[in-house]
């Protein structure tokens, strides 16, 4: 569906400047912005993806990945197409790098998405798979309706959004996993055609407004896997997001235009997790390493494994109903309002 963009300026001569993401694209009549979804129609800017859904699925919330937000629950996941980045390793490139007419979509109204979640008994809606912030108008409208139904809204995002745009969504946003691809500005410029600084600002802004945030860093061999870069990323995370904000290091597998690279060695992921823990980040995880103990949550006081995972499933639960360690009583920062885990027969 075609709807007028909420945030843009008319510049004269038919040109417009989009205000959704930090690219702030200046778009000529008849042209699209970087995201391939915002179109200048005779001097007015339109989103061409409102309600256009490419994927709708029910996922474990751990798949987002969110390990400290209603663990063990499922979420209704939806996506459209397009992206503000050009990452050459994207696992969802068939939709993220698509434009209008390139992929099949089904049209939904926000009310229909919320009703689908209710039918499936999902109280979490995740905007995911492609970059949801370029879908801003639909995400905002759906999030408002979901909140009225006492549901929770989750973003799985690259974090590339202007602070003024983010501010409109914050009252309805409950959790986000932000993909911090590197702490290195040159990495973002070379591989994402973007800037790192706005992403770091958005993470800090979300945490400051009480949104549950977890970050993910995909470790790519030869590109962002140096010990120096991992240490700098951890230093930023600890300083700006705090020791309680979960950090995920994810293993890269060859994909899209990076199929010539090898998978990330498991040891590299494990070393990054160890580095982050030694820096003082309390909840650090390794991703795409099934069976690894880096998937587990440990009590920072007594060391007990309080949540044991295999893949996206919980195999052991060592917390009480107030999310305190059963051994020492330490409060673990897990969002679980009204939640009782499926693990250990407690539900």
pLDDT tens across 28-66, in order?
A: 999 999 999 999 999 999 999 999 999 999 999 999 999
140-191 confidence digits (pLDDT tens): 999 999 999 999 999 999 999 999 999 999 999 999 999 999 999 999 999 9
Residue 18 contacts residue 36 (beta carbons within 8 Å): no
Question: Residue 94: which domain range?
Answer: 52-295
- Whether residues 23 and 127 share a domain: the answer is no
- Whether residues 10 and 64 share a domain: the answer is no
- Please state the rounded mean pLDDT for residues 278-296: 94
Q: Kindly list the distances between the CA atom of residue 186 and the CA atoms of 24, 152, 223, in Å, as whole numbers in the listed order.
A: 20, 35, 11
- Structure token pair of residue 303: 């060391």
Domain count, the chain: 2
298 contact partners, CB below 8 Å, separation of at least 6: 304, 305, 306
Residue 337: predicted pLDDT = 62
- Whether residues 112 and 41 share a domain: the answer is no
- Whether residues 101 and 140 share a domain: the answer is yes
- Whether residues 165 and 33 share a domain: the answer is no
Q: Which of 270, 295, 320 is the last residue of a domain?
A: 295
Single pTM value for the model: 0.95
Q: Which of 47, 65, 82 is the last residue of a domain?
A: 47
- Whether residues 290 and 178 share a domain: the answer is yes
- Whether residues 26 and 162 share a domain: the answer is no
Q: Identify whether 303 is part of a domain.
A: no
Looking at the chain, the whole-number percentage of residues with pLDDT higher than 70 is 97
- Whether residues 122 and 220 share a domain: the answer is yes
Q: Which of 295, 311, 326 is the last residue of a domain?
A: 295
- Whether residues 172 and 225 share a domain: the answer is yes
- Structure token pair of residue 17: 């400047």
- Whether residues 40 and 66 share a domain: the answer is no
């Amino acid at each position: 569906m075609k709807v007028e963009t909420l945030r843009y300026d008319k510049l004269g001569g038919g040109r417009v400047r989009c205000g959704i993401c930090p690219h702030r694209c200046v778009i000529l009549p008849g042209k699209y912005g970087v995201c391939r979804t915002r179109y200048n129609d005779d001097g007015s800017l339109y989103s061409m993806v409102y309600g256009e859904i490419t994927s709708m699925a029910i996922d474990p919330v751990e798949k987002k990945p969110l390990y400290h937000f209603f663990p063990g629950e499922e979420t209704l996941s939806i996506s459209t197409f397009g992206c503000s980045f050009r990452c050459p390793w994207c696992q969802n490139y068939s939709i993220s790098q698509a434009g209008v007419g390139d992929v099949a979509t089904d049209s939904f109204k926000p009310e229909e998405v919320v009703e689908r979640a209710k039918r499936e008994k999902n109280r979490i809606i995740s905007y995911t798979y492609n970059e949801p912030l370029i879908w801003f108008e639909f995400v905002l409208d759906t999030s408002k309706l979901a909140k009225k139904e006492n549901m929770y809204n989750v973003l799985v995002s690259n974090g590339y959004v202007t602070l003024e745009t983010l501010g409109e969504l914050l009252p309805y946003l409950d959790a986000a996993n932000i993909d911090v691809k590197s702490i290195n500005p040159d990495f973002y410029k070379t591989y994402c055609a973007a800037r790192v600084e706005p992403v770091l600002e958005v993470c800090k802004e979300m945490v400051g407004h009480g949104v549950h945030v977890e970050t993910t860093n995909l470790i790519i061999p030869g590109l962002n896997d140096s010990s120096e870069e991992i240490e700098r990323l951890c230093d930023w995370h600890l300083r700006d997001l705090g020791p309680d904000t979960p950090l995920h290091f994810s293993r890269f597998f060859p994909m899209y235009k990076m199929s010539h690279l090898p998978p990330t060695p498991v040891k590299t992921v494990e070393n990054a997790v160890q580095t982050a823990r030694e820096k003082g980040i309390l909840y650090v995880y390794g991703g795409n390493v099934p069976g690894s103990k880096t998937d587990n949550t440990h009590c920072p006081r007594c060391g007990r494994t309080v949540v044991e995972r295999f893949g996206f499933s919980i195999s052991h639960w060592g917390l009480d109903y107030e999310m305190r360690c059963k051994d020492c009583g330490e409060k673990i920062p897990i969002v679980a309002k009204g939640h009782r885990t499926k693990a250990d027969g407690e539900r």
